Amino acid sequence: MLEVRDLEIRYGPFLAVDKVSLEVRQGEIVGVIGPNGAGKSSVVRAITGLVRPTGGTVSFLGQSTLDVPVHELIRRGLSLVPEGRGLFPMMSVEENLLMGGYSLTDRSRRDELMASCFELFPILKERRNQLAGTLSGGQQQMVAVSVGLMGDPQFCIFDEPSLGLAPIVIQQIGETLQKMRQLKLTVLLIEQNAMLASSVADRIYIMSAGRMQFHDTPDRLMKNPEVIEKFLSA
């Protein structure tokens, strides 16, 4: 479904992403983990056309995503829940959701999607008229996920959904990601939290210093002594 080949990204002379390849097949949840500064968000930005790579290819459903505007990628079924959530804090929960669904011309589909977000996160239904900026961090993350779902995607990218959240809320995020499976969504999950990623992902890539270092199932990675020493023994 998504294929990234030999991606290279430079910021001026700085090589942030060095020949990174990864693949996500339909129906999978794939994790990319790695420390701060590894280049994870840069890969996401290249996939979603926000950064122009200096090398390599990205294809989504067999078509290149490079130089494709974001609204066209949404139309093709790709959705991004960005790092830091990207909400409009001075708008209500419902208004934020409507922004996520702005490209839908079918109003009944839009209403249906909003209903399913409220089913996924009942607290958001209760707080639909509250300003997004006044919600707790965990609730804001629920709004961010809902905004992504309102684009009616087949494929969702989550960039560090657990960032800055309390352990109990991180657990809820894990449960939410599992629900993406029931919704038949394909997911690329970017995380620094290796435990969260390995509890939901089918396969995991480990990235550091701009390179893909390992790639395996979570079970096998968690038993790999080199992985444990380098990435899990913080």
Ligand X SMILES: Nc1ncnc2c1ncn2[C@@H]1O[C@H](COP(=O)(O)OP(=O)(O)O)[C@@H](O)[C@H]1O
Least separation in angstroms between CB 46 and ligand X: 10
Binding-site partner at residue 49 among ligand X, Mg ion, none, CB < 5 to 8 Å by type: none
The set of long-range contacts for 131-134, using a CB threshold of 8 Å and a minimum separation of 24, is 131/89, 131/90, 131/91, 131/92, 132/87, 132/88, 132/89, 132/90, 132/91, 132/92, 132/93, 132/96, 133/87, 133/89, 133/90, 134/89
Least separation in angstroms between CB 25 and ligand X: 23
- Residue 41 gets the label, from left (phi > 0), alpha (psi -120 to 50) or beta, of alpha
Chain residue whose CB lies nearest Mg ion: 41
Least separation in angstroms between CB 3 and ligand X: 20
Q: Are 132 and 87 in contact (CB under 8 A)?
A: yes
Least separation in angstroms between CB 101 and ligand X: 27
How many chain residues bind Mg ion (CB under 5 A)? Answer: 3
Least separation in angstroms between CB 148 and ligand X: 18
DSSP lists the bridge partners of residue 83 as: none
Given candidates 7, 16, 34, 41, which one binds Mg ion under the rule CB under 5 A?
A: 41
Task: Give me the 75-114 binding string for Mg ion, x by CB under 5 A, dash otherwise.
Answer: --------x-------------------------------
CA 104 to each of CA 49, 139, 143, 157, 169: distance values in angstroms, whole numbers, following the listed order: 21, 24, 18, 19, 30
Least separation in angstroms between CB 11 and ligand X: 3
DSSP lists the bridge partners of residue 189 as: 31, 158
Q: Which stretch binds Mg ion (CB under 5 A): 4-12, 35-43, 115-123, 135-143?
A: 35-43
Residues 6 or more apart from 16 whose CB is under 8 A from it? 9, 10, 39, 42, 210
Amino acid letter, 113: L
List interacting residues with ligand X (CB under 6 A). 11, 14, 16, 34, 36-42
Binding-site partner at residue 16 among Mg ion, ligand X, none, CB < 5 to 8 Å by type: ligand X
Q: Which stretch binds Mg ion (CB under 5 A): 32-40, 143-151, 166-174, 196-204?
A: 32-40
Contact residues for Mg ion, defined by CB under 5 A: 40-41, 83
